[in-house]
Structure formats: structure tokens, C-alpha cells
Chain A
């Protein structure tokens, strides 16, 4: 009986899934600087709404990654920046401009296609399926995911696919905030390959 009581006492203390436990010297644990996702008592951000540390990028700005770079076409970064500056001026409803103005800054080399496949697997496959037949596991719930090799889609160009990923099209919503520009262009390379798949 005694051991039973002890066992009960010990297990009753185990139910603390919501409890983080004791902390030692919390001022060494909690960041003084504003971390993007920090969420601890005492360092609430008083300037931003809801105490958030993250803000949306200022409208009309380009990521600092491109800081100090010139839109030259002799390096891939330069070409990317040039394409990106054009792409950012195209409005989300303006598919025609994307089709006519944008071309892929990446060549369909083996490495680029491999990288595109990797990004496709991470961001597209659960809906569009492994071979672009619209048969991903989520597509069964979401419905209406097209087949890349269908007659209406198999000849779509770089700009059209890039615009679709960035701003969405039909039932698909915008994915531009999740995937970097260079990764989107690599996905375009791989999607071209799937368009030609039988």
C-alpha cells in the first residue's frame, strides 16, 4: 500500500506538459536583443503591435541580400536581381506581363534541375504530386489540382509558371512569401521537365 501511495505521488507530479519547469538565472536565458520569435516574459516589445518583434518588409523595398549589387548580367546574382526588379513591378493580376517580360535566369543544368526538384518536393509535391499529375495527398482534399502535361498547361512559359508560384492562379494561392526568388526559378526549370512527362 505504501509503495502504491508513493507511486501515485510520483505519477501525479508527471502531468506537467504545460509547465516548463524551474529556470536558473533567467536573465542569461532570455535574449536582451529582440529575437525574431522570442516569446518570454519581461522582454515584450512595447513598440510593435501585439509585442511582436517581426515586421513586414517595407513596401517597395528589396531584401538586403542584394545590397550593393548592380544589375549586371555577367553573374547569376546580377541577372537574378535584374529579373527580380522587373518581377516586383508586375501586379498580381497581370499574368500577361509576366509571360512576356520574364525569362528564367537559370540554365537547365543538371545541378539546377536537381535543386529545382528538391524545392519542388518541399513546396509543391504534396498537392501537385511526384510527377506533376495533380495527385498529391493534399490534392485529394483540396481538389482541382491540374495536370502539368495537360494540353492547356504543357506549353506554359517561364514567366507564366513563375507568376503562378509567386501570386497564385485559379484555386492556387500565392506562394511568393514562402519560397525565395532563386528557388522559384529553379522550380520553374523542374516544372518544365514535368510538363513534358508523358
Chain B
């Protein structure tokens, strides 16, 4: 009875307080409450009914007596440990998540927070929901160089075929004129198919035509052979299907998670590393738990089985490559070699990874020597003998044994 009476008083004072705040007399209280709430509570609690991490706090002053709230805010763990039924139920209902204790707040401060919450409930200011994250625009990926080349070839082939048809028709009409002119009427009687066959035979015996056709076929075969020979060991464009449909466009693009967060070795070691499942779980213990793709991670963890990601970039064993040297020392961006990963739904090998491609960059790129004492003497030596900045090729970047040993 006493508590109800007290509650009523609290409620009345609160409502009064709210009205007062509107007039500006007690604005101090709700203002302080608002500040405390936004800095400390808002990450887990909403002023509405909405559950963020903990329960929505709308109507908390009616749900619980003030001295319970104060005790709870000061030390939630102790309240749960004391066996308070409401507290234990609360703890179990919200996934056994422990609320942070705020022992430093006075009763007056806690009351000001409640005043703020109640004020929000009475006159709900349109709480601007987080604007939906606009999906990163996906510009159509331009055809790669190889694709362009193919279209040009196809166009050329088409032109060649047209020229061939034109030549054939000229040849046939000329032979017709030459052979048929005296008895054209007789010639007209010969059926069309037979005439075509005859013309074809004549054409086949024409040596100029034979040479031309042979040359064309040889060129085409030669081109195809060269193309496939250059393609040996080249995996450019390789975009294998992965065991889990992980999207770099979503993680690295839309959510801007740094590459290093998952590829832990990229600034420290030879390999960039493929993340182990515990790194996925840092977010996916809470996010998108129902997705069948995410369930695959859980299954792999339960069975203690590694996720068998398919390797995309396979540099042959005959060439040595070190990520740290390029990213950490050289200061290169990941996109420099891997392309715009943040726009790729499925990762694709964008660079050719051929020796010519490596060498090309070593010829052009200046050594990132600034602030790196290791290069001081080399730069000094370079400047006495050469003009221009020191490039990778100037310090042995083209030596065979730099990468092949």
C-alpha cells in the first residue's frame, strides 16, 4: 500500500515535473536526465517499448518502484544474486546479458533519467529511426581488357566473313558471265543447286581462292593457339564458388569493415590469412543468426571442422611473395593488386599475377623510404649517382633471385 501511494506521488511529481519542464521551471531535471540517458543508457535501452539489447524503458516508473530501480542501477549483479524474482526473470529473458553497473549515480540523478523517459512517453518526440543504410551503389563492372579484345576480334571476323561473301559473289557472277554468255538460255535451264555445286567446284579448283582460305584458317588456328598458350597458368578472372556465400561487397563495402579485421596477417606476414570461424562469430553471434549461410558457420564450429574456402589467388610456388613487404613497408593499398574487392559479391582475381605484371610495377614504383631508416643509406647512395627518386628496380627489384630462389 505504501509503495503504491509512493508510486502515485512519484508519478504525480513526474507528471508535474514534466509540465513544469514544458514551462521551463524544472527543465534542468529532464535535461540532465536526457544527457545521462543518451550517454549511458541509449546504446542498450530505448525510451519506447522497443527492445534494443535490454528492455524498452517506456513506463518503467509504473512497472518498478523507484528504490528497486536505484538498487538495480547501482549494482544489477547484486540484485540478481539476492534472488529477487523480477531481476532473475529479467536476466533470463534477455539472454543472460549483464547490465553495466552505475554505482556513481545519486538517487536524484536516476530520478531525472526516469523523468526524461516519462516525458518522452507523454509527448513522444518523433524519434528519428536510424536512416536505413543506403546500399552502396553497384556500378556495372566494366568489361575487362580481355573482353574488349574479344569483341574487337569478333567484329573483325564478321567483317572478314562479309568480305569473303562479297568476293565469292563477284567470282561467281564473273564465272557466270564468262561461261554462260553464248548460250545463256541453256544455262538458265540448269537447276540452281547444280549450278551452285558446279560453281563451288570451279571455286575449289581456283588456286588463289585456295591459298586465301588456307591462309585465313592458319591465321585463325594460330591466333587460337597463341591465346591458349598465353592463358596457361593465368587465372585472371577466376572467381570460384565458395562454401559459404560470403559477400565482400556487404562486409568491406557497405559496413566498411577493414580488410585487416579478418585478414589478420596482411600487415605482418607473408600470407594475408583466411579468417577462422571465431572472427566471423565476433559479429554473427548476434547478427543474422537465422540465415542458412550463417548456420554453416555454426555447424562448422559445432563439429570443430574448418570451413574449406577455395583459394582465389594462387601464386605459383616458384615465385616468392610477401604481403607485409608490400602493404606495411611499401604502403600499398589492397586494391592495388586485388581490385575493388569492396564492390565484389564474389571475389575474383583481377590482376594477372604474371611476372610481367610484377616487373612492370617494380619499374614504375618509387620506394616508400620516408621515415624508414633501413633505406636511408640506399637513398643517399642513389642520390649521388642518379637523378630522380629511387624506384624498386634501383635496389634490386628486378633481380631474379629477389623472387625466385
Interface residues of A (CB under 8 A from B): 2-3, 6-7, 10, 14, 17-24, 28-32, 35-37, 39-40, 50, 52, 121-123, 125-126, 134, 137-138, 140-147, 149-153, 170-175, 177-180
The 30 sampled A-B contact pairs (Cβ below 8 Å) are A7-B154, A17-B237, A17-B240, A17-B346, A19-B238, A20-B240, A20-B314, A21-B232, A22-B233, A23-B233, A28-B318, A30-B317, A31-B317, A32-B317, A35-B317, A37-B273, A39-B311, A52-B306, A123-B258, A123-B261, A126-B256, A134-B43, A137-B133, A141-B255, A142-B283, A144-B52, A152-B100, A173-B281, A173-B285, A174-B278
Name B154-172 residues within 8 Å CB distance of A: 154, 157-158, 161
Interface positions, chain B 14-64, Cβ under 8 Å from A, are 36, 39-40, 43-44, 52-54
CB-based contact B310/A39 at 8 Å: yes
Decide yes or no whether B130 CB sits under 8 A from chain A. Answer: yes
Please name all residues of chain B whose beta carbon is closer than 8 Å to the beta carbon of A146 when the two chains form the complex: 43, 100
Residue of A nearest to B103 (CB): A152
The A interface, classified by DSSP as helix, strand, loop or mixed, is: loop
Judge whether B241 is part of the interface by a CB distance below 8 angstroms: yes
Contact residues in A for B306 (Cβ distance below 8 Å): 50, 52
The docked-state distance in angstroms from the alpha carbon of A138 to that of B239 is: 27
Question: Contact at A28–B260, with CB atoms within 8 Å?
Answer: no
Nearest-CB residue, chain A, relative to B288: A141
B403 neighbours in A (Cβ, 8 Å): none
- Would you give the 0/1 interface string for B85-129, flagging 1 where the beta carbon is closer than 8 Å to chain A? 000000000000110111011000000000000000000000000
Cβ-closest 3 pairs across A and B: A144-B53, A3-B158, A29-B316
* Residues of chain B contacted by A36 (CB below 8 angstroms): 271, 273
In the complex, what distance in Å separates the CA atom of A39 from the CA atom of B308? 9
What distance in Å separates the Cβ of A148 from its nearest Cβ neighbour in chain B? 10
Indicate whether B81 reaches chain A with its CB closer than 8 angstroms: no
In the assembly, what is the distance between CA of A134 and CA of B285, in Å?
A: 18
Instruction: Name the CB-closest residue of A to B272.
Output: A37
A125 to B255, CA, bound (A): 11
> Cβ of B44 and Cβ of A143 under 8 Å apart?
yes
Would you call B40 and A151 a contact (CB within 8 A)? yes
Give B residues with C-beta under 8 Å from A.
36, 39-40, 43-44, 52-54, 97-98, 100-102, 104-105, 130, 133, 147, 150, 153-154, 157-158, 161, 228, 231-235, 237-241, 254-258, 260-261, 264, 268, 271, 273-274, 276, 278-279, 281-283, 285-287, 305-306, 308, 310-311, 314, 316-318, 346, 348
Q: How far is the CA of A145 from the CA of B100 in the complex (A)?
A: 12
A6 to B154, CA, bound (A): 7
Cβ–Cβ < 8 Å partners of A39 in chain B? 308, 310-311
**Distance to closest chain B CB from A136 (angstroms):** 8
Decide: A171 near B97, CB < 8 A? Known: A3-B154, A6-B154, A30-B317: yes
Q: How many A-B residue pairs have CB under 8 A?
A: 155
A138 touches B281 (CB 8 A): no
The residue among A19, A40, A144 with the most chain B CB atoms within 10 A of its own CB is A144
A24's contact among B39, B161, B233, by CB below 8 Å, is which? Answer: B233
Which residues of chain A are within 8 angstroms of B234 by Cβ–Cβ distance?
21
Q: B101 — nearest CB in chain A belongs to which residue?
A: A152
A147 / chain B contacts, CB cutoff of 8 Å: 39-40, 43
Return chain A residues, CB-CB under 8 Å to B102.
Answer: 151-152
Q: How far is the CB of A142 from chain B (nearest CB, A)?
A: 6
- Please indicate which of the listed interface residues B53, B271, B317 has the most CB atoms of chain A within 10 Å of its own CB: B317
B154→A138 contact, CB < 8 A: no
Interchain CB contact under 8 A, B232 and A23? yes
CA distance A23 to B318 in the complex (A): 13
Distance in angstroms between the alpha carbons of A180 and B324 in the assembled complex = 15
Residue of chain A at shortest CB distance from B154 = A7
Residue of B nearest to A121 (CB): B258
Chain A residues closer than 8 Å to B54, beta-carbon distance: 144
Q: Besides the contacts A28-B318, A141-B255, A173-B281, what 10 more A-B pairs have beta carbons closer than 8 Å?
A: A3-B158, A3-B161, A20-B235, A21-B238, A37-B274, A40-B314, A143-B52, A151-B40, A151-B104, A172-B282
